[in-house]
Chain A
């Protein structure tokens, strides 16, 4: 089976930076995704990494180290609207997506 771990909850202040870590052990690897999910809504795509390194997209960046089975999502200049769950998902050797349980980020004023 697949094993994807990420912290359950994180709290940060508006304007700050938060880093959400994700570690994984899967049967094969064909890319890692981060999704954002606001309460009661559908997950929405944030980022995709398949090679080692950092991908930057505005206030959000995602990093991948395949040798360590590790990724992080960096949220900069936090805004209240960033309060949501962040889902780490790994595409395995059969091209199936396996999701972590999600990290709930609460942004305080």
Chain B
């Protein structure tokens, strides 16, 4: 069992380009989350999904969009990347919706120039 996988591992992107970060889990967890982690700021929630077909906004959603077409996949899209979106992005999932422990993927390191 792989748990949660993210792709790509790292990416350098020109400002203004569109980018989709992929996240897949094989644990059949209902809820999935996207966080960004910046030095000195800790993990901040971007978007979440409590179950397939639903999504919600977190603390820092501007400039990002998500979709949840099925249980396993939760892609994060940057429509037009800006340098302030340079960060490490972590996907997470939890079992019984929002009440259960969250488990994290390995992360994607994104640099926007």
Binding site for B on A (CB under 8 A): 4, 30, 33, 35, 41-45, 48, 87, 89, 95-102
Contact = CB atoms under 8 A, between A and B. Distances in A.
- Residue from B48, B58, B102 having most chain A Cβ neighbours under 10 A: B102
Given A41-B106, A42-B106, A42-B107, A87 B43 contact: yes
Contacts of B105: 42
A95 to B, nearest CB: 4
B19 to A, nearest CB: 20
B42 interface: yes
Contacts of B98: 95-96
- Residue from B42, B48, B105 having most chain A Cβ neighbours under 10 A: B42
Interface bin, chain B: 20 to 34
A87 B90 contact: no
Given A96-B45, A101-B40, A101-B41, A45 B99 contact: no
B101 interface: yes
Interface in B19-58: 33, 35, 40-45, 48, 58
Contacts of A48: 101
Nearest to A100: B42
Interface in B78-94: 90
B54 to A, nearest CB: 14
Interface string B3-26: 000000000000000000000000
Contact of B101 (A33, A42, A95, A96): A33
A97 B42 contact: no
A101 B106 contact: no
A97 B107 CA distance: 18
Contacts of B35: 99
Contacts of A4: 42
A43 B92 CA distance: 10
Given A41-B106, A42-B90, A101 B42 contact: yes
